[in-house]
Amino acid sequence: MSARRRVPLELLALALVVLASTIVRVALSRGVNAPWISPDEQLYGLLGRSLADGDGLTILGQPVPYYSLLYPALVGIPFLWSGVAAGVTGVQVLQALVMSTTAVPVYFWARPLAGSRFALLAAGLTVLIPGLAYSGLLMSETLYYLAATLAAWAVAACLREPTLRRQGLLLAAVGVALATRLQAVGFVAAVLVAVALLAAAERSTATLRRMLPTFAVLGALSVVWIGVRVALGGVGELIGAYAPLAEASTYSVADVAQSLAWETGGLVLLTVGIPLVALGVLTWGTLRGEESDPGVRALVATAVAYLSVTVLEVSAFASRFVEHVTERQLLSLAPPAFIAFAVWLRRGLPRPQPVTSILTLTLAAFVLLLPLDRVATPSAAADSLSTIPLERLKSSLGEGTFEVVYAVTAGLLLLLAVLVPRRLAPVLATLVALALAAGSVSASDAVRERSRKERESTFADAPRDWIDALGEKDVALLLTDDRVWPSAWHQLFWNRSISRVVRLVPTESPGVMPQDVVAVGKDGRLTTRTGAEVEASWVAAPAGVSLVGERVATLPPSFDQQGMAVWHVEGPIRIAQRVLGIRPDGDIHPGDTPVIRVYACGPGRLELTILGKQGLPTRVLRGGAVAAERAVAAGRVWRPRIPAPASADGSGVCTYRLETDGLIGSTRIEFVPGAEPRTG
């Protein structure tokens, strides 16, 4: 077949890889209830919608610290013509295409080095990693995977032939990566390290000298960036929303070293290890001056520099803020490793000894010494999709058996890189591809399952836009510690009618959501730190909070969170009653200490409906003294009515408590003002 005819066939094969990957990822994202990972997904989604609405990078009309520009712009595209639900689906389709398109630069980077067949292999592996499951979520990794790969390719192209045109493309590619994710600041150091590695490999500083324009521009841009950010908000604004990274008092060397070991082990899991063996072998030959292909030398220098800088950067961050492997920040390291794997396969698996064995044993040590109690755990799933199959295997096999299976499988898989005969090289490629594909299916299934549970936890079986369904605007969202903090981000994302967030101290609300921090007075009024009262006509609040006004809509409780209600109020927001410590299903267990606080408490009575379940005594306390007590038989109902204290004159708070020696249920807890007090 002629070369002219072969090229279109190669491009057709590449197009099929991208198309097939896009279709599969869209199919796997069906049923994923994005957003799931809070507050990241909601933040990017809200910023994207804000851009689509022409309001810039704002939330609730307020600017937020800089996270990214290009990713919110990508997310905002479907929202130009779609509602929230349809917009999320559009984002999932668009992101599946964007992440799958990463195969294109990988192919064209690998083709001159490994030939078209092995370049297609590298492209295929690039779209098989479990991390592509992020395409079903609203995470910046989806765009950064492509942007960082393009930037790495631009670095390698400059090292291969540092013309001014290529250096301009490199600066543009790094700029795009930085506009996507601030993690890309590591590319500045990666370029320096890559040039130094190439100079060492070639025993020449020619490339270093020719790259001086790039270094000059990077230096000038760094000075301008620092000057602008400091002028805007001081030193703390240098890294935008990631300022807390610089505020950490110290970074322990021991902690960073431990994190470095964990992240390296995570990288082995991400790539299935064997491509890293291939990169190590090529690096050995390059540094010894034995590599004759300048393109491979550039690949090695780029891959090793980018890998080293990124792993160190991520490890330093994780040592302070993450207690497990954070694989999602390492995803873009996989494509250069896969290209090195393709080159190694095409060359017939060269395995110089003893370096290959030492390298393989070192990688095995990193992956075998990973703390499985922090890796194969549900808490690591959102940050490390490749660990999800391990978590599931651990759950099905039991901890002891799992550890044996994990150690044996990981050891044997890496050992194959040393022992497989050259004629069976396709076996290695097949094993890597199958491992990645299996991990992708498992990760996507887990994301669907866990995002569904998150939706059920937040909204039960109600529509997610239940507040918008009222048709009102300018709804205030009242945050208390009655519901877990991600609920606030979910409510804000799905309900455009929320225009203000009010947080009752000492409730926690992580993230950059603009909010008014308020305290509640004895009369139930909410006031800010300046003493100003909070005005609103419509308020969404947890079900345990009763406001002075009319309840117009309710959200049912879920399996682990109490419900919510929307109130129509007039004048300043006032809390009439607050119930704390009741489980979502209304049950009260021995040891639970439910508290009922009645604000602006005057004459009236607390009315309760208690359901007996175990027939053991239950007590209602008022002001610390037992006001009523009864052993409610199973299946029977007790309706005590506890009058307010005689001193209640509407200026203070009445406090009631419930105690029980056995399991009971409750269906009504309400203070009725002005009624003639009776006991029961």
pLDDT for the residue numbered 246: 54
pLDDT band at residue 65, thresholds of 50, 70 and 90?
Answer: confident
Q: Which of 302, 369, 392 is nearest to 106 (CA)?
A: 302
Please give the backbone phi and psi of residue 655, each rounded to the nearest 5 degrees, phi first: -120, 130
Higher local confidence (pLDDT), 87 or 676: 87
pLDDT for the residue numbered 371: 87
What would the pLDDT profile of 356-400 be if each residue is shown by its tens digit? Answer: 999 999 999 999 888 888 787 888 888 889 889 888 888 888 888
What would the pLDDT profile of 1-57 be if each residue is shown by its tens digit? Answer: 455 555 688 889 999 999 999 999 999 999 999 999 999 999 999 999 999 999 999
Sign of CA dihedral 373, 258, 198, 157: positive
pLDDT for the residue numbered 97: 97
pLDDT for the residue numbered 676: 55
Report the pLDDT averaged over residues 294-322: 91
Supply angle C-alpha 140, 12, 93, rounded to 5: 30
Q: Which of 603, 595, 596, 606 is nearest to 651 (CA)?
A: 603
What would the pLDDT profile of 516-569 be if each residue is shown by its tens digit? Answer: 999 999 999 999 988 899 999 999 999 999 999 999 999 999 999 999 999 999
Report the pLDDT averaged over residues 56-72: 91
Report the pLDDT averaged over residues 116-125: 96
Question: Do 675 and 605 meet the contact criterion of CB atoms below 8 Å apart?
Answer: yes
Residue 243 has pLDDT above 80, yes or no: no
Torsion-angle region of 389 (φ positive above 0: left; ψ -120 to 50: alpha; else: beta): alpha
Torsion-angle region of 594 (φ positive above 0: left; ψ -120 to 50: alpha; else: beta): beta
Residue 245 has pLDDT above 60, yes or no: no
Alpha carbons 462 and 456: distance in angstroms, whole number:
9
Residue 158 has pLDDT above 60, yes or no: yes
pLDDT for the residue numbered 10: 86
Report the pLDDT averaged over residues 93-115: 97
Residue 678 has pLDDT above 50, yes or no: no
Hey, what are 542's tokens? Answer: 């947890």
pLDDT for the residue numbered 6: 58
**Residue ranges of domains in the chain:** 103-210+248-453, 460-577, 581-680
Sign of CA dihedral 668, 669, 673, 679: positive
Stated as kind and residue range, the H or E segment containing 622 is: strand 617-622
Helix ranges (DSSP H) in 498-591: none
Hey, what are 229's tokens? Answer: 């950010």
Instruction: Report the percent of the chain where pLDDT is more than 90.
Output: 72
Residue 346 has pLDDT above 90, yes or no: yes
- How many Å is the Cα radius of gyration of the chain? 30
Question: Do 366 and 265 meet the contact criterion of CB atoms below 8 Å apart?
Answer: yes
Omega before residue 556 within 30° of 0, cis: no
| 3-state SS, residue 250 | coil
What would the pLDDT profile of 611-646 be if each residue is shown by its tens digit? Answer: 999 999 999 999 889 999 999 999 999 999 999 999
Question: Do 479 and 518 meet the contact criterion of CB atoms below 8 Å apart?
Answer: no
pLDDT for the residue numbered 244: 54
Instruction: Give the count of beta carbons closer than 10 Å to the beta carbon of residue 164.
Output: 10
Residue 136 has pLDDT above 80, yes or no: yes
Omega before residue 72 within 30° of 0, cis: no
pTM here is 0.92
Hey, what are 675's tokens? Answer: 């009624």
pLDDT mean across residues, the chain: 90
Question: Do 489 and 42 meet the contact criterion of CB atoms below 8 Å apart?
Answer: yes
Give DSSP secondary structure letters for 377-438.
SGGGTTT-GGGHHHHHHHHHH-HHHHHHHHHHHHHHHHHHHHHS-GGGHHHHHHHHHHHHHH
| 3-state SS, residue 553 | strand
| Cβ-proximal residues to 123 (8 Å cutoff; 6+ apart), any chain | 14, 17, 103, 104, 106, 107, 110
Per the listing, tokens 């712009």 go with 73
Alpha carbons 634 and 663: distance in angstroms, whole number:
10
Hey, what are 215's tokens? Answer: 């270094």
pLDDT for the residue numbered 677: 46
Report the pLDDT averaged over residues 251-269: 87
Residue 647 has pLDDT above 50, yes or no: yes
pLDDT for the residue numbered 248: 52
| Number of helices (H), then strands (E), in the chain | 21, 19
Residue 319 has pLDDT above 90, yes or no: no
Residue 680 has pLDDT above 50, yes or no: no
Sign of CA dihedral 285, 288, 292, 297: positive
Q: How far apart are the first and last CA of the chain?
A: 95
pLDDT for the residue numbered 238: 52
Hey, what are 55's tokens? Answer: 């309001």
pLDDT for the residue numbered 465: 95
Stated as kind and residue range, the H or E segment containing 208 is: helix 206-210
Omega before residue 350 within 30° of 0, cis: no
Q: Which of 194, 110, 122, 119 is nearest to 155 (CA)?
A: 194
For β-strands 617-622 and 652-660, DSSP reports them as antiparallel
Query: HSE-up of 509 (CA within 13 Å, CB side)?
Result: 25
pLDDT for the residue numbered 67: 87
Per the listing, tokens 């709804």 go with 475
Alpha carbons 163 and 287: distance in angstroms, whole number:
24
Higher local confidence (pLDDT), 241 or 413: 413
pLDDT for the residue numbered 239: 54
pLDDT for the residue numbered 74: 96
For β-strands 604-612 and 664-673, DSSP reports them as antiparallel
pLDDT for the residue numbered 601: 95
Break the chain down into helix, strand, coil percent, rounded to 5. 55, 15, 30
Q: How many residues does the chain have?
A: 680
pLDDT for the residue numbered 679: 45
Q: Give domain 581-680's CATH architecture.
A: Sandwich (2.60)
Q: Which of 570, 622, 630 is nearest to 597 (CA)?
A: 622
pLDDT for the residue numbered 653: 95
Residue 225 has pLDDT above 80, yes or no: no
What would the pLDDT profile of 469-497 be if each residue is shown by its tens digit? Answer: 999 889 999 999 999 999 999 999 999 99
Supply angle C-alpha 85, 90, 95, rounded to 5: 130
Alpha carbons 59 and 47: distance in angstroms, whole number:
7
